[in-house]
């Protein structure tokens, strides 16, 4: 990859052979690098201005002046390259016997953030002098700072750079923080822990005292500072996903699974409330169904599932109200998927050699119609409240037993075919 301009030259325009050979090197792959010790004498040439920084759209007037009288290095024999490509001769003109001028207009952003190589060459291609050209934009104000604390032991923040596009210059971001009413500014040191624009503060954080947090962006053309975010560590706590997630069948009920888990152990010694979410999907699908109304329970019943189907289940936690905090809390990551399968249906399918009762549910009378609608709604939704558990379980067990008894009677020829329809009505 390109090496980049070093950006650490001495401020003086005159440099020795040692300065040139050790500090400035062209950064384009494939550009020949001559032996500086054999091709340069002390104070061979100088480019002015040295390492300029310009806004996009600016113009540049530069000169390459030969110092002394090196053989074959008069102004009319010199030429320029930019990033290893020779610039057209019409962009240059001779000022005097030892100086070649260059005019570049409407400059585009630098091709590399470390600066573009502007090089002055002798007729034989040897490098006489070099300069780094930085063309770009000043940084814009960073925004959208968000922070969270893992189990109240640290703080991680991330932000969005201000400019929708790049600045074409290397831009440095610094996360600063301090206690709101006293204390000095501190600078975060562990960057890129959660992406390119993030930083991690590992320890030594105070509780019950708000912090002020902001981000400073700086490059060669200027700096910008975000708005200050004020937060209390207790308001941005997140935790590990709930451990020990277990998924099991609910007796012989073919459309249900039971999910159980334990509260995050890292917060067991702190006063907090918790709410949970569950999501689940079938084995051959990527689409998750989310259950939002789990509240603060550590168990849940999923209903309305497909018989004989493998499901993957995950749980996450939102610890809120820690020590009385009134903030909403931050969701943890999802737990590792836990798999379980629903029982296969005992009712024979269309190819099983027996007739399945139509509807399979009570269907006569206004009261039973209302019950059918209510239970049908329950079947289509996962539910995690103890409300109606017993009623639903009794109804499902009765239905499965009723279906099994009728199917067995049909297989044994106990019910005449002409009475099976009426038997269904009486059984309902």
* Overall number of domains in the chain: 3
Distances (CA, A) of 305 to 255, 260, 357: 4, 17, 21
Question: Does residue 336 share a domain with residue 255?
Answer: yes
Question: Does residue 261 share a domain with residue 227?
Answer: no
Taking a C-beta distance cutoff of 8 angstroms, is the pair 410, 419 a contact? no
Q: Which residue, 209, 235, 261, sits at the end of a domain?
A: 235
In a domain, 71, yes or no: yes
In a domain, 315, yes or no: yes
In a domain, 383, yes or no: no
C-alpha 13/C-alpha 20 separation (Å) is: 11
Q: What are phi and psi of 251, to 5 degrees?
A: 55, -130
Distances (CA, A) of 82 to 5, 26, 27, 43, 112: 12, 10, 10, 22, 12
C-alpha 376/C-alpha 103 separation (Å) is: 80
Q: Which residue, 342, 364, 394, sits at the end of a domain?
A: 342
Ramachandran region, residue 22 (left: φ > 0; alpha: ψ -120 to 50; beta: rest): alpha
Question: Does residue 231 share a domain with residue 208?
Answer: yes
379-382-383-389 Cα dihedral, nearest 10 degrees: 40
In a domain, 408, yes or no: no
Question: Does residue 215 share a domain with residue 275?
Answer: no
C-alpha 70/C-alpha 41 separation (Å) is: 8
In a domain, 163, yes or no: yes
Q: Give the closest residue to 279 by CA, choosing from 343, 344, 345, 331.
A: 331
Distances (CA, A) of 181 to 178, 184, 202, 215: 9, 10, 22, 19
C-alpha 421/C-alpha 120 separation (Å) is: 100
Res 13: pLDDT: 34
Question: Does residue 132 share a domain with residue 148?
Answer: no
pLDDT, one tens digit for every residue, the chain (428 residues): 333 575 433 333 333 333 333 334 444 333 333 333 334 444 689 999 999 999 999 999 999 999 877 666 789 999 999 999 999 999 999 999 999 999 999 999 999 888 999 999 999 899 999 999 999 999 999 999 999 999 888 999 999 998 767 889 999 999 999 998 887 899 999 999 888 899 999 977 888 889 999 999 999 999 999 999 999 998 999 998 998 999 999 988 999 999 999 988 877 767 778 889 999 999 989 999 999 878 788 999 999 999 999 999 999 999 888 888 888 889 999 999 999 999 987 654 443 322 222 333 333 444 455 555 555 555 555 556 544 555 556 666 666 666 666 666 555 555 444 444 444 444 43
Domain around 79: 44-136
Q: Give the closest residue to 46 by CA, choosing from 116, 111, 131, 123.
A: 131
Taking a C-beta distance cutoff of 8 angstroms, is the pair 147, 215 a contact? no
Distances (CA, A) of 295 to 138, 250, 302, 319: 48, 21, 14, 11
Q: Which residue, 89, 111, 136, sits at the end of a domain?
A: 136
303-304-306-312 Cα dihedral, nearest 10 degrees: -40
In a domain, 369, yes or no: no
In a domain, 167, yes or no: yes
Task: Provide DSSP, 213-224.
Answer: EEEEEEETTEEE
The pTM assigned to this predicted structure is: 0.66
Tokens 């008069």 label which residue? 74
- DSSP state at residue 229: E
Question: Does residue 148 share a domain with residue 68?
Answer: no
β-strands 53-55, 127-136 pairing:
parallel
Question: Does residue 281 share a domain with residue 255?
Answer: yes
C-alpha 68/C-alpha 73 separation (Å) is: 10
Question: Does residue 253 share a domain with residue 231?
Answer: no
Question: Does residue 181 share a domain with residue 220?
Answer: yes
Residue 218: exposure state from Cβ atoms within 10 A (0-12, 13-18, ≥19): middle
In a domain, 377, yes or no: no
Question: Does residue 274 share a domain with residue 188?
Answer: no
For the domain that residue 255 is a member of, what is the CATH number? 2.60.40.10
C-alpha 243/C-alpha 336 separation (Å) is: 9
Question: Does residue 268 share a domain with residue 227?
Answer: no
Distances (CA, A) of 170 to 99, 130, 176, 328: 32, 20, 19, 37
């Amino acid at each position: 990859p390109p090496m980049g301009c070093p950006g650490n030259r001495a401020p003086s325009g005159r440099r020795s052979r040692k300065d040139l050979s050790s500090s400035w090197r062209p950064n384009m792959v494939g550009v020949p690098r001559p032996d500086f010790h054999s091709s340069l004498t002390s104070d061979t040439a100088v480019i002015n201005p040295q390492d300029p920084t310009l806004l996009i759209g600016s113009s540049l007037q530069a000169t390459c002046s030969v110092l002394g009288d090196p053989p074959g290095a008069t102004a009319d024999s010199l030429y320029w390259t930019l990033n290893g490509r020779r610039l057209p001769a019409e962009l240059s003109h001779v000022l005097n016997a030892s100086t070649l001028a260059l005019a570049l207009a409407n400059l585009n952003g630098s091709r590399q953030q470390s600066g573009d190589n502007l090089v002055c060459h002798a007729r034989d291609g040897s490098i006489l002098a070099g300069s780094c050209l930085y063309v770009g934009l000043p940084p814009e104000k960073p925004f959208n700072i968000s922070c969270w604390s893992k189990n109240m032991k640290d703080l991680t923040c991330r932000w969005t750079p201000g400019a929708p596009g790049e600045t074409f210059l290397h831009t440095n971001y610094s996360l600063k923080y301090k206690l709101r009413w006293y204390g000095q500014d501190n600078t975060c040191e562990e960057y890129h822990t959660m992406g390119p624009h993030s930083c991690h503060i590992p320890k030594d954080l105070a509780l019950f005292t708000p912090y002020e947090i902001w981000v400073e962006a700086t490059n060669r053309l200027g700096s910008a500072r975000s708005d200050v975010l004020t937060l209390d560590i207790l308001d941005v706590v997140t935790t590990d996903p709930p451990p020990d997630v277990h998924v099991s069948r609910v007796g012989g009920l073919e459309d249900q699974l039971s999910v159980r888990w334990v509260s995050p152990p890292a917060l067991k010694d702190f006063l907090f409330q918790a709410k949970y979410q569950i999501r689940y999907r079938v084995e051959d699908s990527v689409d998750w169904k989310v259950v939002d109304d789990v509240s603060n329970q550590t168990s849940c019943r999923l209903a309305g599932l497909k018989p004989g189907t493998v499901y993957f289940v995950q749980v996450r936690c939102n610890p809120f109200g820690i020590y009385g905090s009134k903030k909403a809390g931050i969701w943890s990551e999802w737990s590792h998927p836990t798999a379980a399968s629903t029982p296969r249906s005992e009712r024979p399918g269309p190819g099983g050699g027996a007739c399945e009762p139509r509807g399979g549910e009570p269907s006569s009378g206004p009261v039973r119609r209302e019950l059918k609608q209510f239970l049908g709604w329950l079947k289509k939704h996962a539910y995690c409240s103890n409300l109606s558990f017993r009623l639903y379980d009794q109804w499902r067990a009765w239905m499965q037993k009723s279906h099994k008894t009728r199917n067995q009677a049909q297989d044994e020829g106990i019910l005449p075919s002409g009475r099976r329809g009426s038997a269904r009505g009486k059984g309902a």
